[in-house]
Structure 1
Amino acid sequence: MRFLSLLIVFFTATMLQASPERWRHEWPETDFNRTSVTNWAEILSGGPPKDGIPAIDDPQFLHARDETRIGPTEPVITVAIGGQKPRAYPIRYLMWHEIVNDRVGGIPVAVTYCPLCNSAVTFDRRTRAGVLTFGVSGKLRHSDMVMYDRQTQSWWQQAVGEAIVGKLTGTQLKMLPSWMESWQQFTARNPDGLVMAEPAYNRDYGRNPYRGYDSSRRPFLYSGELPPHGIHPLERVVRVGDRAWPLTRLSQAGEISEAGVRISWVAGQASALDAGQIGKGRDVGSIRVRDGRGRDVVHDVMFAFAFHAFWPDGQWMLGR
């Protein structure tokens, strides 16, 4: 009987951990009855609470020529929309804030970066429920950031841009073309461009709190399947739709034209997740993805394990 009682206690505790009950007190306005999540054990606390990583709203900008803090090889996310001056969002800031709610040429955007997946995606914040603003939930799923919107308190998977819990479950955000490149590459092409100014927070901007992460054997807080074909889980891949090109292949080729896109690689961008100081990270190069007419294509440069987690039936473009 004692063994049976212990078994019941263990089973109950396990079920509680694999249910939304543990989150309800923190998220009283979130509708947990509406969800696409089938296994609640996939959602874990990343450590910080809700808004413990503060998103940036209405950022300030400088002219690129006036910025002196950013090292030449430091990565930035470049957003260029419809005739507006290109904007650079430095990873030195997104490393600590992960989401920037901004407007570019009248379009409300969310520029996002998840360090644990190296996923940098820009979204249009307009939805059927209106214009949303996003914050960091403090939760992870497959080691990827779970965002939330402040209007409905729904939860969103950053890597795919889809609501997974709450009123807006199933809603898909539109992804906008953006890309990561070095600060030097951005300024050489856009001497009159704009760059996000340093936020007014007490953070050690420029430091990488995940030192050596992209050389680790396994991802942090991830228990899913590892990538096939012997691909290292923390190898960078270029994701376009449900296809992934290993960065090692692209860096060797320089340029590849396949599946309707042309992907080019150039040296000069530091890994944000290598050295203690972002600007001193090893060179992983920069990627641009364009279609047959030379237009920028939505893509992401993410870790292989994250691609496999969210696109388990995706196509690996190995060139074999």
Structure 2
Amino acid sequence: MHRHLRIFPLIAAVVTALVTTASANPDLWKSEWPNTDFSRSSVTDWSEILSGGPPRDGIPAISSPKFRKVASENRINVREPVITVEIKGQTPRAYPIRYLLWHEIVNDVVGGVPVAVTFCPLCNSGMVFDRRVGGKVLDFGVSGKLRNSDMVMYDKQTESWWQQAIGTGIVGANKGKVLKQLPSWMESWGEFKTRNPDALVMDEPDWSRSYGQNPYVSYDSSARPFLFNGEMPPHGIAPLMRVVRVGKRAWPMSRLSSEGEVREAGLVISWASGQASALDTRQIGKGKDVGTVRVRDAKGRDVPHDVMFAFAFHAFFPKGKWMLAK
């Protein structure tokens, strides 16, 4: 269902209410998830778990992706966003959002490090995790469930559920386990290939999808998030304003784009124009300019962070600190 956002508000409200009612009892999911230990859960209100429409693996995660040299890739618009992974001693890799919009998770291995490159369109949350937990490598898939509009992932080894926005196991044998987030960032394809002309870019997956097109047209201009019943963010911040989250702090993108660079909390956060929103126009490359953010520490090292919508930050970090303009 969350692939088709052009739905009348009244219909959306009715659908949300029906889904909420039907999803409040985990017993209803046990036939679909017979190997998930529902007795182990940090979820106190099961009505928070909604069906996003597609069933488990209805949005197919990618494993063992193929790559090509940057110089040989000519299908991607220079303004389109990619998630960049640069591990010391390894060739930098770009994972285009044009593919992650349709697959949401890529299971890969970079220099011996098993990684999960993740992107939740409804929260604009794009993070890269180390897939090793307790000495075991996990393979992640898309459960088809949402919580606070954020993707619920699952691992195929134990079928535990994981909250993508916080990288934490919420249901099953891995409840309470936390994935290590790796430094990564979202930038334009043009920025990536200019800086890394000899790097690698994920090749187009072998699926029949409208790659390069955005199935969530005008979503980040919406007044309210889709399939979300929680509290709106404080301080008059628009629910779908992008914020840069580092730990439990959030910097509104409106402040960063105005100031260009912010030095606070031991961080240097910079903003530069040139990256298109993947959640605006039908053609991703024509989306409005949302800019590229880099987060570094005082020594210039990249810091794990997320660029998510304000409503999602408030939902998962209700006591978080808002870093507003001084």
CA distance in 2, matches of 1:128, 1:319: 41
Q: What amino acid is the match of 2:261?
A: E
C-alpha distance after superposition, 1:264-292 (max 9, x if no partner): 00000000000011111000100000000
Contact 2:23 2:51 in 1 (8 A): no
Residue 315 (structure 2) pairs with residue 309 (structure 1): yes
Residue 81 (structure 2) pairs with residue 75 (structure 1): yes
TM-score between both structures, scaled by the size of structure 1: 0.95
Moved over 6 A (4+): 13-16
Unaligned residue ranges in structure 2 (runs of 5+): 1-18
SS at match of 2:263: strand
2:275 is aligned, of 262, 269, 276, to: 269
CA distance in 2, matches of 1:17, 1:218: 21
Post-superposition offset of 1:82: 1.6
1:168 is aligned, of 171, 174, 177, to: 174
SS at match of 1:112: strand
Q: What amino acid is the match of 1:302?
A: M
Q: What amino acid is the match of 2:275?
A: Q
Q: What amino acid is the match of 2:71?
A: R
SS at match of 1:206: coil
SS at match of 2:175: coil
Post-superposition offset of 1:14: 8.5
SS at match of 1:284: coil
Q: CA RMSD in A?
A: 1.1
Q: What amino acid is the match of 2:150?
A: D
Post-superposition offset of 1:83: 1.4
Q: What amino acid is the match of 1:100?
A: V
1:254 is aligned, of 260, 264, 276, to: 260
C-alpha distance after superposition, 1:232-287 (max 9, x if no partner): 00000000000000001000111010001000000000000000111110001000
C-alpha distance after superposition, 1:165-213 (max 9, x if no partner): 0011000000000000000000110001100000000000001000000
Unaligned residue ranges in structure 1 (runs of 5+): 1-12
Aligned-residue sequence identity (percent) comes to: 69
Residue 51 (structure 2) pairs with residue 45 (structure 1): yes
Instruction: Identify the residue that residue 152 of structure 2 maps to in structure 1.
Output: 146
CA distance in 2, matches of 1:77, 1:159: 16
Contact 2:251 2:323 in 1 (8 A): yes
Q: What amino acid is the match of 2:48?
A: E
TM-score between both structures, scaled by the size of structure 2: 0.93
- Report how many residues are paired: 308
CA distance in 1, matches of 2:112, 2:22: 44
Query: 1:1-320 residue pairs with structure 2 within 5 A?
Result: 17-128=23-134, 130-320=136-326
